[in-house]
Amino acid sequence: MGSSSLTVLPSTKPTPIPTHEEDLQNQSTSLLSFSTDSLDCPSKPQKPTTTIIFIALLLITCVALSAATAFAFLFYSSPSSSSSPLPSASLESTARSLKKLSKPVVLLISSDGFRFGYQFKTPTPNIDRLIANGTEAEKGLIPVFPTLTFPNHYSIVTGLYPAYHGIINNYFVDPYTGEGFNMGSHEPKWWLGEPLWETVVNHGFKAATYFWPGSEVKKGSWSCPESFCMNYNGSVPFEERVDAVLGYFDMPTTEIPVFLTLYFEDPDHQGHQVGPDDPEITEAVARIDRMIGRLIDGLEKRGVFEDVTIIMVGDHGMVGTCDKKVIALDDLASWIEIPSQWVQSYSPLLAIRPPSGIAPSDVAAKMNEGLESGKVDNGKNLKVYLKEELPSRLHYVASNRISPIIGLIGEGFKVEQKRTKRNECGGAHGYDNAIFSMRTIFIGHGPQFARGRKVPSFENIQIYNLITSILKIQGAPNNGSASFPMSVLLPSHQ
């Protein structure tokens, strides 16, 4: 997996924040050169003494009028006194110095299923504080395809697309061994690439993970050390997780891990049950904000809040689904029968692996014929591809773990084997990552993130290089751009 074969995204620099200074300077220069001759000040003949006095008074009046006009013009053409001050991001040119910590520390936080826009559902003062004093992806973070939990969390920490890091779905089968992967599989053979905790340890530093997909896998130099690597347990209260992470900052400065992870299941848990627009989501988002507040308070009490780099992300978004938006594979029987044994996953990513002797191209062609016939309910909301023919932007081909037939499902629709009479609604993710509802959040706060800055959306594979740049360590080869961090981070002091 040489770097020459890896796909990178071009880095994009945001447009500088406009200022008013030059406009005001030009206006002032123009006003100072304004001549009283431009005013029409008539006079009529008088006796000599009276005439001189009259002319003097008239000149004084004209000068006064000119000055009043100039000041009025300047006042009304300048920015309103009630306008917001320029963001401090425009004044920052280099990273801020560390005050207490001896080296950079990055805390990576995931709020599972935090769809971009959830932060506007309810007051989130603590998340807002990170945004106001940090850098935000203005229109959200773009997940990798498929927009599922395990593929995306592992892409964030490896900088690799799923086809390269091996976790191509939450559940899948190895086509050679017949073994199945699930979210409890911790054998290193499944997990390719080099995650950040391994990269950090390779450089002689400490890392700590309070839950993250893949962190329990003993791989390379990472042994998932006791007290620095928590085995996943979803019943652990969020408060306990935050307090445990804060505890690392009570260690001697030289012993503090330079990379830490913190994971919350919400609001993904609620989103699957009730969809993205239910009041339960509002409460879940408010709860996550309270946890961020608890974290900030703890870091401030320890005097390290401004030193610690906090990167808050989600893994994917969420969209509402209902059983009336179902595409049944059995409805394709007039064109081709798709036995359930062929199906590796149904929704929101359809993956089919026909047995040997049956050409995937024939299966895909017959399925599409039926779907496009107009005789299959919701059929036009499913498009079937050979994986080699998927849009290249999905980067979902270079692994034999990926099934030969992949179906892209329309936003909010589901694929099932047969049609049922259920009428349930909920939420789902996993769809094409070009769909906006699949976007999540990116917020960076710390010494190398400009305050109040917005950057264009980017794919989450860029985060690996971003973190290694902050930590000043050499990362492993990955699909991200080596130049991307320069478009987001403030340069360090020379």
- The residues that are catalytic are 149
DSSP for 69-114, please give it.
HHHHHHHHHSPPTTSPPPPGGGG--SPPPPSS-SS--EEEEEETT-
Query: Could you give the CA distance from residue 111 to residue 466 in angstroms, rounded to a whole number?
Result: 19
Query: Could you give the CA distance from residue 321 to residue 424 in angstroms, rounded to a whole number?
Result: 8
Query: Could you give the CA distance from residue 391 to residue 166 in angstroms, rounded to a whole number?
Result: 19
H or E element in which residue 383 lies: strand 382-386
Query: Could you give the CA distance from residue 213 to residue 396 in angstroms, rounded to a whole number?
Result: 20
Contact 67, 59 (CB under 8 A): no
Token pair recorded at residue 440 = 């999540």
Inter-CA distances, 219 with 110, 189, 431, Å:
22, 9, 30
Nearest to 309 by CA among 360, 257, 361: 257
Task: Identify the DSSP state of 459.
Answer: B
For residue 264, which phi and psi values (nearest 5 degrees)?
Answer: -125, 135
For residue 32, which phi and psi values (nearest 5 degrees)?
Answer: -65, -25
Residue that has been written with the tokens 């049950």 in this structure: 273
Token pair recorded at residue 2 = 């040489």
Query: Could you give the CA distance from residue 465 to residue 179 in angstroms, rounded to a whole number?
Result: 33
